[in-house]
Amino acid sequence: MTQDETYRRVQAQFGRTAAAYVSSPGHASGAELAQMVALAEALQGGEMREKTVLDVATGGGHTALAFARAGARVTATDLTPEMLRAAQTFLADEGERNMRFVVAAAESLPFKDEAFDLVTCRIAAHHFADPERFVREAARVLRADGLLLLVDNVSPENVELAAVMNDVERRRDPSHVLAYSVRQWVVWLADAGLDLCYLSRWWVDKPYREWVARARTPDDEGEALARDVLALPAAHKTYFRVKEGAGGLEALSHEAALLIAKK
Ligand SMILES: C[S@@+](CC[C@H](N)C(=O)[O-])C[C@H]1O[C@@H](n2cnc3c(N)ncnc32)[C@H](O)[C@@H]1O
């Protein structure tokens, strides 16, 4: 798929589901939000007040909000204009009125070199047309000693399991491009001249009905996907923590990671 096709797919998907990403409990309340702020303070020394933060692919604006509440001056960007408008309304309702909002692709950030203390990007890079270019762009706009804080769903290192995960994700949401392994992210960070200084990973449960409803997966396709997940080999179902109840597929899980790298 070309970059333009990927962008159109993302804008179509998130243009029609913007409100659901503002209200999504998983996006609004992940424990990693507070961790990202605290770890940035710990690793850079000092408080967040007056730090400049670029939040890439801000979605509903939850990462931007966490850093703005800590006192940072936040610029929020997203490829999807409807999503950015929804984030702007949400953040204004939360009392955050001094933020900048810019429609921009993660792969070509319209900012000067060394313009930010921190770049954040949470639960979005698996939609990017060119994540490696995004990492290079993040490195470019960071000042010396600046930090990139990246959270994303990560694929298993095992190729077969990674293919299962990406297939399930793409059938639920056609704007999913690929979830990458931690190992892949570490290589891209190093190639961009960034030093990995923190890594954590955890499992994320996906209650199936809510998960497909948020992406507006058509009902018949959601039912077919549930049947196919339940028909996976037992070892795969164990790996992805598939939960089945009287009504069929109840939940499955995947891993996410937080990587922090310093320029
Ligand atoms: C799940 S939302 C992000 C969640 C948000 N960061 C948070 O912390 O709650 C994914 C977002 O990525 C954006 N996106 C996807 N591809 C992009 C790209 N190449 N450049 C910028 N934004 C992109 C989508 O428009 C969407 O708003």
CATH code for the part of the protein at 3-155+175-204+256-262 = 3.40.50.150
| pLDDT per position as a tens digit, 135-144 | 999 999 999 9
Query: β-pairing, 195-207 with 248-262?
Result: antiparallel
Residue nearest (by alpha carbon) to ligand 1 atom 19: 128
CA of 57 from ligand 1 middle (Å) equals 4
Is the beta carbon of 63 within 6 A of some atom in ligand 1?
yes
Tell the residue nearest (CA) to atom 4 of ligand 1: 59
Share of the chain above pLDDT 90, in %: 90
In this predicted structure, the answer to whether residue 64 has a pLDDT above a threshold of 90 is yes
Residue 97, pLDDT score = 85
Range 235-247 burial, b when 16+ CB lie within 10 A, else e: eebebbebeeeee
DSSP state of 112: -
The verdict on the CB of residue 214 being under 6 Å from ligand 1 is no
* Index of the ligand 1 atom closest to the CA of residue 83: 27
Determine the pLDDT at residue 24: 86
Residue nearest to atom 3 of ligand 1 (CA): 59
Question: Is 123 touching ligand 1 by the criterion CB < 6 Å?
Answer: yes
Tell me which residue has its CA closest to atom 10 in ligand 1: 124
Q: Could you report the per-residue pLDDT of 16-47, keeping only the tens digit for each?
A: 899 988 988 888 888 899 999 999 999 998 88
Model pLDDT, residue 231 = 97
Give the residue whose CA is nearest to atom 14 of ligand 1: 57
Beta strands in 36-172 (DSSP E): 52-55, 73-78, 100-103, 116-122, 142-154
Domain-wise residue ranges, the chain: 3-155+175-204+256-262
User: What is the distance in A from the centroid of ligand 1 to the CA of 54?
Assistant: 13
